[in-house]
């Protein structure tokens, strides 16, 4: 069973490689970079969402973060980022 899954995963990956190489001749370097960055962003959104769903499913009864906890965490992160920005501004003036 594991071998079959490995074969399927390899075939999935190989198709991405082939599609990528087939697209190269039709795009200049800037277009390749632009499209590549966009595809990576799409991938990151999908990975982030899937990871969050997995956490929520496994932590239904355990100590997962509440929405209020997440809001507080984001607010603290934003404050710390603003402090860093302010310090950088002060260094350049």
38 shares a domain with 73: no
81 shares a domain with 48: no
Give 78's pLDDT tier (boundaries 50, 70, 90): very high
Tokens of 58: 């496994």
84 shares a domain with 45: no
Residues 6 or more apart whose Cβ sits within 8 Å of residue 65? 73
> H helices then E strands: how many in the chain?
3, 0
Range of the domain at 84: 63-93
Chain-centroid distance of CA 58 in Å reads 20
48 shares a domain with 37: yes
pTM exceeds cut of 0.85: no
For the stretch 12-23, pLDDT in tens is 999 999 999 999
For the stretch 24-46, pLDDT in tens is 999 999 999 999 999 999 999 99
Lowest mean pLDDT among 2-11, 24-33, 70-79: 2-11
The count of domains in the chain is 2
Q: How far apart (Å, rounded) are the C-alpha atoms in residues 28 and 5? A: 36
57 shares a domain with 34: yes
86 shares a domain with 54: no
């Amino acid at each position: 069973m594991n071998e079959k899954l490995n074969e399927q995963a390899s075939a999935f990956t190989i198709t991405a490689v082939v599609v990528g190489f087939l697209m190269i001749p039709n795009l200049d370097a800037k277009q390749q970079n632009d499209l590549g960055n966009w595809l990576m962003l799409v991938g990151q959104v999908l990975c982030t969402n899937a990871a969050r769903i997995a956490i929520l499913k496994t932590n239904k009864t355990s100590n997962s973060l509440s929405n209020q906890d997440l809001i507080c965490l984001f607010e603290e992160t934003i404050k710390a980022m603003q402090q860093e920005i302010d310090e950088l501004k002060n260094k350049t003036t």
